[in-house]
């Protein structure tokens, strides 16, 4: 039966994100270890540039794909081997719209999309919205939940049109290995599918080596990114796609139907960010400190619960298998009893059903206080 407020089958059958299901239960007093929302403000010089542009006026529509000058500097910034010019770039209303626009350009109803398990639920929701079939490929705890192409290859069929990656990943914080990405590129050529590589966290990286990207190895790879996580421009809704020539025009058409063009003010501010590339990593020292604090807080207060150590992004997965078989119930119980907001691992797939995702995007004090509240909660829980 459809919800009473649903006017179409498409909307009536859409799943609610479990991330938001728990978030909607929080109180004003809740300590937020849930959403991946940077607590930092947009750097002042970016705001100053925005104010300067506002005073100049000229805030009308841009080209559907975005301002040529912005697309040019984004292309030069990434310097991808198969998509190196402004014509390969589409500026979008955030990374989520970029994901939907890319899927709309690649998929027809009944086509198959392979996503990891675990993975950000927005991928499956966008694909299902378009009438595609979502197929999950397992990622294994013993491998740090990184891409396993052998497991993924078993899921490929004649209907496979798209494989979605996210590196560094949400909820895992892990980066996929270069060898696996090269193998995936070979599979894409052999089986005629595209790769959607979501790299929204690529500027928040803690490992010393450069992060490999599928876009380095495949002419079938589409890059998704934006400025919400690295410079905290969440509300300005500025994302982008970089795609090979054979797809760029289709992406522009699907994006134009969805939103016409990205906000002009946000595009000017984005251009300033790319003209001053140091800004894309301006918050990395803060997140590096917060990652160390988060690990210390977990080791000190919850030493009996295993957790991941992220390569990038600002998430840690906490293994609660000893206390629950359903992390949604656990997250709701934690919120009720401790007023700490966490995210159930079940939101991301069956592989993390017994895990919680913790975000350290907030202040170190906020994270430490939240973990200190969780310590007596778990001490008083009966083992599952």
* Residue 384 within a domain: no
Q: Is the dihedral angle over the CA atoms 91, 237, 342, 360 positive or is it negative?
A: positive
Give yes or no: residues 375 and 231 share one domain. Answer: no
* Residue 213 within a domain: yes
Q: Are strands 355-359 and 315-319 parallel, antiparallel or unpaired?
A: antiparallel
Give yes or no: residues 157 and 287 share one domain. Answer: no
Given a contact cutoff of 8 angstroms between Cβ atoms, the answer to whether 341 and 277 are in contact is no
Cα–Cα distance measured from residue 47 to residue 53, given in angstroms and rounded to the nearest whole number: 10
Give 3-state DSSP helix, strand, coil % of the chain, rounded to 5: 45, 15, 40
| Among the listed residues 147, 151, 187, the one whose alpha carbon sits nearest the alpha carbon of residue 167 | 147
pLDDT digits (tens, 9 = 90+) for 168-214: 999 999 999 999 999 999 999 999 999 999 999 999 999 988 899 99
Cα–Cα distance measured from residue 272 to residue 189, given in angstroms and rounded to the nearest whole number: 37
* CATH number for 268: 3.40.640.10
Q: Find the length of the chain.
A: 384
Specify whether the backbone of 344 is left (phi greater than 0), alpha (psi in -120 to 50) or beta.
beta
Q: Which residues of the chain register pLDDT less than 70?
A: 1-6, 382-384
- Which tokens in the block code for residue 71? 């697309």
* Residue 4 within a domain: no
Cα–Cα distance measured from residue 309 to residue 375, given in angstroms and rounded to the nearest whole number: 19
> Which domain covers residue 321, as residue numbers?
9-42+283-379
Cα–Cα distance measured from residue 292 to residue 227, given in angstroms and rounded to the nearest whole number: 24
* CATH number for 327: 3.90.1150.10
Q: How far lies 288's CA from each of 204, 285, 300, 333, 376, in Å?
A: 9, 5, 19, 30, 27
* Residue 109 within a domain: yes
* Residue 186 within a domain: yes
Give yes or no: residues 317 and 343 share one domain. Answer: yes
* Residue 306 within a domain: yes
Name the domain count of the chain.
2
| Among the listed residues 186, 189, 198, the one whose alpha carbon sits nearest the alpha carbon of residue 150 | 186
* Residue 2 within a domain: no
CB atoms within 10 A of CB 131: 12
Cα–Cα distance measured from residue 362 to residue 369, given in angstroms and rounded to the nearest whole number: 11
pLDDT of residue 384: 54
Domain final residue, candidates 280, 301, 332: 280
The string over 61-100, giving b where at least 16 C-beta atoms fall within 10 Å of a residue's C-beta and e elsewhere, is ebebbbbeebbbbbbeebebebbeebbbbbbbbbbbbbbb
Domain final residue, candidates 280, 304, 330: 280
Give yes or no: residues 114 and 172 share one domain. Answer: yes
- Which tokens in the block code for residue 286? 């803060």
Domain final residue, candidates 258, 280, 302: 280
Give yes or no: residues 350 and 232 share one domain. Answer: no
Give yes or no: residues 191 and 235 share one domain. Answer: yes
Give yes or no: residues 324 and 184 share one domain. Answer: no
Given a contact cutoff of 8 angstroms between Cβ atoms, the answer to whether 180 and 211 are in contact is no
Give yes or no: residues 80 and 152 share one domain. Answer: yes
Angle subtended at Cα 180 by Cα 176 and Cα 185, rounded to the nearest 5 degrees = 110
Q: How far lies 291's CA from each of 177, 235, 248, 284, 315, in Å?
A: 22, 24, 37, 10, 9
Cα–Cα distance measured from residue 327 to residue 332, given in angstroms and rounded to the nearest whole number: 8
Give yes or no: residues 247 and 287 share one domain. Answer: no
Q: How many CA atoms lie within 13 A of 288 on its CB side?
A: 10
Q: Are strands 239-242 and 221-226 parallel, antiparallel or unpaired?
A: antiparallel
pLDDT digits (tens, 9 = 90+) for 3-15: 656 577 777 777 7
* Residue 178 within a domain: yes
Give yes or no: residues 270 and 337 share one domain. Answer: no
Give yes or no: residues 169 and 128 share one domain. Answer: yes
DSSP 12-49: HTPPPPHHHHHHTT--TT-EE-SS----SPPPHHHHHH
Predicted structure pTM score: 0.95
pLDDT of residue 84: 93
pLDDT digits (tens, 9 = 90+) for 25-48: 888 999 999 988 899 999 999 999
pLDDT digits (tens, 9 = 90+) for 265-285: 999 999 999 999 999 999 999
Give yes or no: residues 220 and 306 share one domain. Answer: no
């Amino acid at each position: 039966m459809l919800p009473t407020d649903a006017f179409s089958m498409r909307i009536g059958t859409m799943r609610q994100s479990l991330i938001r299901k728990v978030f909607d239960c929080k109180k004003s007093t809740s300590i937020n270890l849930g959403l991946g929302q940077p607590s930092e403000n947009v750097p002042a010089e970016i705001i100053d540039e925005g104010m300067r542009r506002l005073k100049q006026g000229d805030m009308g529509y841009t080209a559907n794909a975005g301002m040529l000058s912005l697309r040019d500097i984004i292309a030069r910034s990434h310097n991808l081997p198969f998509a190196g010019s402004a014509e390969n770039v589409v500026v979008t209303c955030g990374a989520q719209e970029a994901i939907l626009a890319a899927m709309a350009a690649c998929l027809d109803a009944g086509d198959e999309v392979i996503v990891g398990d675990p993975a950000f639920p927005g991928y499956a929701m966008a694909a299902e919205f378009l009438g595609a079939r979502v197929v999950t490929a397992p990622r294994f705890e013993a491998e740090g939940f990184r891409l396993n192409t052998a497991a993924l290859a078993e899921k490929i069929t004649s209907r496979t049109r798209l494989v979605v990656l996210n590196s560094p990943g949400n909820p895992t914080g892990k980066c996929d290995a270069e060898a696996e990405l090269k193998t995936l590129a070979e599979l894409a050529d052999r089986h005629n599918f595209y790769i959607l590589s979501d790299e929204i966290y690529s500027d928040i990286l803690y490992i010393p080596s450069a992060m490999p990207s599928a876009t380095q190895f495949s002419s079938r790879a589409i890059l998704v990114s934006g400025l919400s996580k690295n410079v905290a421009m969440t509300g300005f809704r500025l994302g982008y796609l970089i795609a090979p020539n054979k797809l760029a025009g289709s992406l522009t058409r699907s994006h134009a139907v969805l939103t016409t063009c990205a906000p002009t003010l946000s595009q000017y501010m984005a251009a300033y960010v790319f003209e001053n590339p140091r800004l894309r990593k301006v918050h990395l020292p803060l997140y590096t400190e917060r990652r160390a604090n988060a690990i210390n807080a977990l080791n000190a207060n919850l030493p009996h619960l295993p957790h991941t150590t992220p390569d990038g992004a600002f998430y840690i997965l906490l293994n609660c298998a000893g206390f629950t078989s359903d992390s949604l119930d656990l997250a709701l119980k934690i919120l009720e009893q401790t007023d700490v907001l966490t995210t159930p691992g079940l939101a991301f797939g069956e592989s993390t059903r017994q895990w919680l995702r913790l975000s350290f995007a907030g202040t170190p004090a906020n994270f430490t206080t939240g973990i200190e509240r969780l310590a007596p909660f778990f001490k008083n829980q009966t083992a599952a």
